[in-house]
Amino acid sequence: MGMECHDPKVRTGKAAMGEIADGLDFLSLYIDDKDIYPSKEARHKFLVDLRTTIRNAKQKIGAVKDEPRRDEPPMKCCVPSYDLSYI
């Protein structure tokens, strides 16, 4: 039939990626014999995105922190005034 097989000990092509028993990355997941969890690259990307989101949120909070809130009157309106002229 003219078929040939390769030596599994020679690491070329996909075999160079290692044995499946050591685990593998597939669709942004790392799969081993016990667990399935996000791949190292996916975890890194998530942390970069999270840090960017937090940094942007802090900048937006800093930009508006001194502005009066739209849903509440300014604080000076909430402080009761007392007539102390008789003292």
| 40-81 per-position pLDDT tens digit | 999 999 999 999 999 999 998 888 777 776 666 566 555 566
Amino acid occupying residue 16: A
**Structural domain contains residue 2:** yes
- Full residue range of the structural domain in which residue 56 is found: 1-63
**Structural domain contains residue 76:** no
Q: Please tell me whether the overall predicted TM-score, pTM, comes out greater than 0.85 for this model.
A: no
**Structural domain contains residue 27:** yes
Residue length of the chain: 87
**Structural domain contains residue 14:** yes
pLDDT in tens, 5-22: 777 677 666 666 667 777
Number of independent structural domains in the chain: 1
- Mean pLDDT for all residues in the chain: 78
pLDDT at 3 over 70: yes
**Lookup result for tokens 């502005």:** 67
Query: Is the CB of residue 42 less than 8 Å from the CB of residue 50?
Result: no
